[in-house]
Amino acid sequence: FVLRPNYHGSSNHGLDFVESIKGHYYEKEVPDILNGIHHLIAQDLVDPDSLGVMGWSNGAILAIALTTDYPEMFKAVAPGAGDVNWTSDYGNCEFGVSFDESYLGGPPWKMLEEYIEKSPLFRFEQVVTPTLISFGSEDRAVPTEQGWQHFRALQQIGKAPVRFLLYPGEPHGFRRISHQKRKMEEEIAWFDYYLFGKKTYTETLAARVLPESAPLALLARRQQIRQNNGQYGEMVNGILAPETVTLGDTLQVGRFEVTRAQWQAFRPQASYPAGRDNYPAAAISFEDARAYTTWLSEKTGQRYRLPSTGELKMLQKLAGKQENNLAYWAGYDPTPDERQALAAQIAKHDPDLLLMPAGSCPPGNSAEKDTPLLYDLDGNVAEWSVNKTGSGESSGASAATVRDKRTGLTGQPPQGFVGLRVVRE
């Protein structure tokens, strides 16, 4: 439940309502907010033991006042760009003179006691609410110095957990999308832990700093990939077979598309440029793809097959965010008309110039820590599957095609960009 009250001094109720707090700063706004909270509690709409508060600029000023004067009321607070010391605001805010004299009633040298009384800084020994402070380094409306005073006081007093985030280059209102996103993530993590009792704040931040799908986090998991003398796969009865990993409870599927080294074990006459053993086998017909799985089953004593069309579509949904597809080579996501024009350009080049070694792009199925990594699920080469009629169907994006985000279709790939992936039963 979120309460966003129109307290005295805010908009939509006329000029008199806006100016009603002049000379009465805090005196009307804070009671308005408290009345709203108590009304919701009386209606059994909110739990009085599960309250949090946040705000920006004037909203932060009021949030700070609430957690200062009602220290046991809130479980967490996230103020951004909020004043805590009006005596210094008078000099370091770009409109401090006009604002402070208007709302507080005069300059600090004539109203020192009033300025101190209105400044939460001098009552911070009461604060016990976990506090997340956000500021822009170039803020002149509520200068960063206010944030430092807030942070230093709570840090030195030591009664409330406190964190101070200073966003470089930002004015009073954040402009960079990355900083807006970071601020939201930090606030969600703060409230998740201190208000909702979810996983620790450190764990939440660690997941943001280094997500499980980040290439750096995947390095250790990549060590599990099986190789033989630098060639992907595992030796089974003297045959270099595709490595398979278990997906879900039953499906064992190739980690990579069948490589050229693996294909050459089946077709020794296949000729490829040197140093490309781990490139995907391409220009494969459906008959040859199915013959490969039959041969592999006979040689290894294990049963291999092509995936069903349904299985392959399921795998494609697990694809990584960046695949070797037409969008990569074009440098943008082409429209249907642009794809047709690009197809003519693709046809001018040897497929080997566009294909990449298996696993060159970030893996799919990587969001969860213990799931097996799968590569090239919707790129590099399209893959053969067996449909409900028993016929072959090639699908998936390739270096020459791309999946349409609206329709989900990829179009028919050129034969030079069709390969296979195996399933082991």
Q: Report the range of poorest mean pLDDT among 159-163, 210-214, 410-414.
A: 210-214
Per-residue pLDDT, 218:
85
Q: Which residue, chain included where needed, has tokens 């799968």?
A: 374
Q: What's the whole-number mean pLDDT along residues 200-208? A: 70
CA-CA distance, 143 to 93, in Å (whole number)? 6
Instruction: Kindly report, residue by residue over 252-298, the tens digit of the pLDDT.
Output: 999 999 999 999 999 999 999 999 999 999 999 999 999 999 999 99
Whether the per-residue pLDDT at 394 is higher than 90: the answer is: yes
Q: What is the C-alpha separation between 77 and 61, in angstroms, rounded?
A: 11
Q: Is 81 helix (H, G, I), strand (E, B) or coil?
A: coil
Mean pLDDT of the chain: 94
What tens digit of pLDDT does each residue of 330-346 get?
999 999 999 999 999 99
pLDDT for residue 215: 80
Convert the pLDDT of each residue in 46-102 to its tens digit. 999 999 999 999 999 999 999 999 999 999 999 999 999 999 999 999 999 999 999
- Give the domain ranges of the chain: 15-209, 226-424
Sign of CA dihedral 200, 194, 46, 59: negative
Buried-state track 345-372, b at ≥16 Cβ within 10 A, e below 16: ebeeeebeebbbbbbebbbbbbeeeebb
Residue 351, C-beta contacts closer than 8 angstroms, at least 6 positions apart: 282, 283, 399, 400, 414, 416, 417
**Higher per-residue confidence, 401 vs 366:** 401
Tokens 């053969």 — which residue? 384
- Which tens digit of pLDDT belongs to each residue from 248-259? 778 999 999 999
Task: Specify the pLDDT at position 285.
Answer: 97
**Do residues 384 and 376 touch, judged by C-beta distance below 8 A?**
no
**What CATH architecture applies to the domain 15-209?**
3-Layer(aba) Sandwich (3.40)
* Beta-bridge partner residues of 385: 393
- Residue 22: which residues within 8 A CB-CB, separation 6 or more? 102, 103
